[in-house]
């Protein structure tokens, strides 16, 4: 008798189990997760998405800018060195003007123009060299700020995205407990939505933060390397001015 009842209930149990797992599969799809999220969790995901897009835009912009600066600087350095060696100051300035994306060209141009505009011909004075050196320092500061543009935002995203994801995690856990209290059951179905909400926001926060931190460290190292190159170029140019003064 019992076996007969079990046999009769088996198809119904199988159908109920199949429907349960189908519902679980649907609810854990991307669309299902989005529909199951609350307003706060959706706001967190949207904010993280905006931060991700913004950080990706900064990465692409900095990569293109640094690549162009490196390429033009490699072409600029030997040409300007040859022009200065032959004493063609105007030619050196023209070479620098043709490489406007080069960080070295921008710095060297400022020093050369100040040196030329301060006084052409005659003896090179100490004031002329000092004025050129100050122009080089000002230009270095400006170029350094251009190179670091957007990197502060990457650092902010890298440090705050995990905490924003954690906020979404807290919201998801609260929703899970609220579901338990509302449905008065502790089954997995009661907390599945809140737990999935919590895990998605946590994972998305890490997904946004990790590339931002890696890109920030990489580009910061590149900026430091560019700073060293600009310092060396400025020092060599000041030495050139001093040698010119000694010859005259």
DSSP string across 44-109 = HHHHHHHHHHHHHHHHHHHHHHHHHHHHHHHHHHHHHHHHHHTT-HHHHHHHHHT-TT-HHHHHHH
Q: Residue 12 falls within a domain, yes or no?
A: no
Q: What is the pLDDT of residue 130?
A: 86
pLDDT at 5: 38
Q: What is the pLDDT of residue 7?
A: 40
How far is 18 from 120, CA to CA, in rounded Å? 90
Q: In terms of Cα–Cα distance, which of 104, 98, 93 is closest to 66?
A: 104
Q: What is the pLDDT of residue 166?
A: 87
- Whole-number pLDDT of residue 228: 94
| 121 is a domain residue | yes
Assess if residue 196 is contained within a domain: yes
pLDDT at position 210 is: 94
pTM for the whole structure: 0.75
Range of the structural domain that residue 59 is part of: 39-247
**Within-domain flag for 13:** no
Burial-class residue 3 by CB neighbours within 10 Å (0-12, 13-18, 19+).
Answer: exposed
Report pLDDT for 242: 80
The residues of the chain scoring below 70 in pLDDT are: 1-38, 118-124, 175-177, 179-197, 245-248
Q: How far apart are CA 237 and CA 109, in angstroms?
A: 10
∠ CA(80), CA(227), CA(99), 5° rounding?
35
Structural domain contains residue 1: no
Residue 189 lies in a domain: yes
Instruction: Please report whether residue 63 resides in a domain.
Output: yes
Among candidates 222, 240, 204, which has minimal Cα distance to 83?
240
Tallying the residues shown for the chain, one arrives at 248
* Residue reference for tokens 């939505």: 193
Structural domains counted in the chain: 1
In a domain, 9, yes or no: no
Res 10: pLDDT? 36
pLDDT of residue 2: 34
């Amino acid at each position: 008798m019992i076996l007969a009842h079990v046999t009769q209930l088996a198809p119904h149990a199988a159908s109920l189990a199949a429907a349960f797992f189908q519902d679980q599969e649907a609810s854990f799809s991307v669309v299902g997760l989005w529909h199951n999220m609350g307003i706060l969790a959706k706001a967190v995901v949207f904010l993280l998405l905006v931060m991700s897009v913004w950080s990706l835009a900064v990465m692409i912009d900095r990569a293109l800018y640094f690549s162009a600066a490196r390429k033009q600087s490699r072409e600029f350095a030997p040409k300007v060195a040859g022009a200065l060696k032959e004493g063609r100051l105007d030619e050196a300035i023209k070479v620098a003007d043709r490489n406007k994306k080069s960080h070295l060209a921008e710095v060297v141009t400022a020093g050369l123009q100040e040196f030329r505009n301060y006084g052409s011909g005659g003896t090179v004075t100490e004031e002329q060299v000092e004025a050129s050196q100050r122009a080089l320092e000002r230009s270095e500061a400006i170029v350094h700020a251009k190179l670091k543009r957007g990197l502060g935002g990457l650092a902010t995203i890298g440090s705050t995205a995990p905490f924003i994801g954690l906020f979404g995690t807290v919201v998801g856990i609260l929703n899970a407990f609220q579901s338990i209290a509302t449905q008065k059951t502790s089954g997995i179905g009661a907390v599945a939505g809140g737990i999935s909400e919590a895990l998605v926001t946590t994972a998305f926060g890490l997904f946004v933060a990790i590339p931002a931190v890696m890109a920030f460290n990489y580009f910061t190292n590149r900026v430091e390397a560019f700073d060293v190159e600009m310092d060396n170029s400025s020092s060599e140019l000041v030495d050139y001015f001093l040698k010119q003064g000694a010859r005259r």
